Each structure stands twice: as C-alpha cells, then as structure tokens.
Amino acid sequence: MKIHILGICGTFMGGIARLARELGHEVSGSDANTYPPMSTQLSDLGIALTEGYGAEFLQARPDLVLVGNALSRGNPAVEALLDSSVPYTSGPQWLREAVLNQRWVVAVSGTHGKTTVTSLIAWMLESAGLQPGFLVGGVPLNFAVSARLGTAPFFVVEADEYDTAFFDKRAKFVHYRARTLVINNIEYDHADIYPDLAAIRRQFAHLVRTVPGGGLIVYDSGDGEITEVLEQGCWSASQGFAIAGSADWRARASGDRQLRVIDPQGHQHSARTPLLGEHNLRNTLAAVAAACHVGVPVAQSLSALGSFSGVARRLQVIAQRGGVTVYDDFAHHPTAIRATLQALRAQAGAGRVIAVLEPRSNTMRSGVHGAALREALEAADLVYLWHRKDLKFDAARALQGLGSRLFVSESVDSIAKSLIPALQNGDHVVLMSNGSFGGLHDKFVAGID
C-alpha cells in the first residue's frame, strides 16, 4: 500500500511512518519544516520527504493519507485531499487498526513524564526478553529509534491527550484501548484546544472508560486531579504510587542515587538509578508497576533501570567543554521546567545553573502560565529567554521578579553572543525547547572554547 503522511516530521507521525515501513508499506510524507533528527531518520528508511503543503502528493495517487493533528481546514494539502477521492484517516486511528489490534497495549498518559516512562517500560520489557513494540514521543537512547513493531503481544505507546485530527476532536489516547494504563499526572496544558482543566479531566475520564475490567490503571496517588477523574467512574483494578505517604508502590532515594522500592506486598527492592530528580522517582515507580503487570518481576525491572540510557532531549548531556556542561531538555511546561532545574541544582553543587529557554508550545506562547513560569525558573542562577515574535505575552514583564538574573532577547544569535563570554568553569547550561530553538544548540556548543 502507498501511504502518504501529512505532518510527517512530528515525533508521533514520524513514528507512525517507521511502523508503516516495517509493515511493508511504501511511505512518503510532507511537512511545513523538515529538519534533523526526524528528517534524517525518515530519509534513512527510504521515505521521500516534501517540504511544504502543496497538492503534489496526490499526483502519485496514494492508497491512503494519514493526516497529522497540526493540519486544519484551509491548509492547501487538506483542501486538495478533501476534494479528491483518496481515503484518509488519522495517525491514532491507523495505529489502532494496523498495529495495536490484538496487542496488549501499555499506554502512558499524563501531562509530564510520558516519554521517559514509556521508554523505561519498553527497556524493562526488552531486558526481560519480551521484545516489545513501542511508539515514543522522543528517541529512547537504548533503542536509537522512536518506534518499532516488536514482537507480539506487548506494545508500549506514549498516550497523548492532544486532539486526534481536524476531523476527529477526541483525544488521541482514546484510540489505543490500553490494557495497562499509566496516568502520571494531570495539569492544565494545550491551551489552544482545551479551555480549562475540567475539559482535560473529561478526556482522561473517557480514557479510563476504555480500560477493560481485567486491566490495570497505575496512577500517582498524590495527584488530586487523577483522584477526581477516577471518582467519576473506574471499572478496572488500580494501583497508586507515591514517594511520600501511603500507596501501593512507594520509593525512597538516598545518597549516590540509591533507590529503594516497596511493592504492594510490602517487599523491598534496592537499585541504583541513573536518573536525576524527584520527578524521576515517580517515573520509575510508574514504569516498574506497569512492567510488573505484564509479568516482569520487580527485581528484573530494577536491574534494567541500571542500564537505562535515558531519552534524547530529556536533560541529555550534549557537550562538555571548558569546564561547562551543556544539556538539551524538552521543557514544554512550567512544572517540567521546575523539575528539571531542581534536579540539575542538586547535581550542580557549587556550579551555576543557567536556563536558556524557548517558550514554543501553544500553551507556553499564550502566556497562560506566566506566573508559574517565573516560579519554575527561580532555581536557575541565570535565565536567558528567546522572545519569539509569536509570543503572546510580555516575557520581560512576566518574569521581572527574576531581576538581574534575566536576559530577554528576540534574537537567538544575541543570546549566544551574550552568554558564551559569561560562562564560568563549573557552569551547567540547559537549553530548554520542544523545537529546534532557531539552531541555537549548534551555535552555542560551537562557540564554547
């Protein structure tokens, strides 16, 4: 079958493309911007890429078009598709019908931590010899790819609450029919499609209703929003996890990243974790509990944790030069930013923590989290912010409480030129963006002596 994917360079649709190629389909795609690493991954698979959303893709007469949720009515490619007789569907619907049908689906949902937990579960199952399939909204460094079919029965999928497509406004995750569901946390996000937190809770309530009675919901027992969702109706077994207070799964961390996990039977398990931060204790508990549900013993999961290499762009070290360590981090929400900076602060010791931020997501650009963003950045010694032209709030004013620690510029080059001479031995610099950051990563690293 000839499949064309509109919006192919997003992490989700790029993963869909890889799965379609593994199934033997001829795949092509188009996107407004094609850039590495996704464009490189797709080209290596022999997938023809077209930049822009013209109607040329219809000339090859694909058998099916998969439409990414970034495209809407008025887009030239969408209008041409609707005027044609070519069948089309969404990425999540295709995934359900072509890949997930008859699989044991482990779905990881929540505002934060989805990519890390999905990658962790996939690695725990892989280390147990189960060869799972997976689709991750990032690149797990243990696998070096964002998706693969794997071997039945298990498939681990990052389950996003964003809407499915312009013709299907349900959340993507309701398509997956999870047997094992993780709900990490619930906060307000995606301000472009959800008017308030209640609307997001409603989507999670729909998700809970898709889990079979013989399935399991693993959730953060200290998250009041999740509790409220479950109280709306839950027909499956559930297990809570926590790092403080009572829960089915608990964890404690001590010096030198030593981790102690207490399972629902009260048994204690010890391991050393490579992951920084309190948020990653929760991520680890969620992954261990989910892996246990599909049959991986706790001790085996924790053994796999020791060899977990992390995920690209999740506090990933990309350079160490001149006594300066540079990290790349996805950073799509104030809560994630705060967790990252707090983890880095604990790691840095006497060294400075410097946050360099691109507010890129629709929610971040809207300014709805302005006050929360300032609080999230308090853990940094210096803050450099790219004031994109499409920013809908005055960042300098919203963050003025940071005082002299704050540098705001409309130019990426200006940020690099200002920061590089100010670097000191022992600095930890984290570049925070869920996009390309205008090429700052390469410019900044190249400029460090």
Q: What is the pLDDT of residues 289-323, one digit of tens each?
A: 999 999 999 999 999 999 998 887 777 888 888 78
> Pairing between strand 316-321 and 324-329?
antiparallel
- Examine the domain organization and report whether 275 and 126 are in the same domain: yes
Does the residue 28 lie in any domain? yes
12: CATH: 3.40.50.720
* Domain CATH code at residue 368: 3.90.190.20
Q: Contact at 8 Å (CB) between 213 and 235?
A: yes
Residues 323 and 381 in one domain: yes
Residue 75 lies in a domain: yes
Which residues form the domain of 22?
Answer: 2-90
Alpha-carbon distance of 34 to 60, in angstroms, equals: 20
pTM (2 d.p.): 0.84
- The yes-or-no verdict on residue 288 having pLDDT over 90 is yes
Please report whether residue 311 resides in a domain: no
Q: 153 and 298 share a domain?
A: yes
Domain CATH code at residue 263: 3.40.1190.10
Based on the fold, state whether residues 231 and 361 are members of the same structural domain: no
* CA–CA gap between residue 241 and residue 282 (Å, rounded): 7
Q: Which of 122-131, 172-181, 205-214, 364-373 has the lowest mean pLDDT?
A: 364-373
Output the average pLDDT for the chain. Answer: 90
Note the pLDDT of residue 303: 95
Inside any domain, residue 228 = yes
DSSP string, 242-297: ESSS--SEEEEEEGGGEEEEE-TTS-EEEEE----SHHHHHHHHHHHHHHHHTT--
pLDDT of the residue at 219: 97
Q: What percent of the chain has pLDDT over 90?
A: 55
Domain membership flag for residue 97:
no
Same domain, residue pair 204 and 273: yes
User: What six digits make up the tokens of 326?
Assistant: 């540079």
What is the rounded distance in angstroms from the CA atom of residue 57 to the CA atom of residue 75?
A: 14
Domain match, 287 and 375 both = no
Q: Which two tokens stand for residue 47?
A: 């997938």
* 289 and 170 share one domain: yes
Whether 11 has a pLDDT exceeding 90, the answer reads: no
| Rounded Cα–Cα distance for residues 334 and 40 (Å) | 30
Least confident of 76-90, 194-208, 357-371: 357-371
For 57-75, write each residue's pLDDT tens digit.
Answer: 999 899 999 999 999 999 9
Range of 81-95, 265-279, 409-423 with top mean pLDDT: 81-95
- In the predicted structure, residue 24 carries a pLDDT above the cut 80: yes
**CA–CA distance from 339 to each of 35, 92, 318, 344, 446 (Å)?**
28, 30, 19, 9, 28
**244 domain-assigned:** yes
- On whether residue 96 sits in a domain, the answer given is no
State whether 11 and 154 are in the same domain: no
**Secondary structure (DSSP) of 68-119:** -TT--TT-HHHHHHHHS---EEEHHHHHIIIIITTSEEEEEESSSSHHHHHH
Q: How many domains does the chain have?
A: 3
Domain termination residue (choose one: 271, 305, 339): 305
Lowest-confidence region among 19-33, 131-145, 380-394:
380-394
Q: Is the pLDDT of residue 372 over 90?
A: no
Question: Based on the domain organization, do 248 and 354 belong to the same domain?
Answer: no
Residues 216 and 288 in one domain: yes
Residues 134, 266: one domain? yes
- Answer yes or no: is 177 within a domain: yes
Q: Tell me how crowded residue 196 is: count the other CB atoms within 10 A of its CB.
A: 10
Last residue of a domain, one of 258, 277, 305: 305
Question: What's the average model confidence in pLDDT over 120-137?
Answer: 97
Q: Both 138 and 237 in a single domain?
A: yes
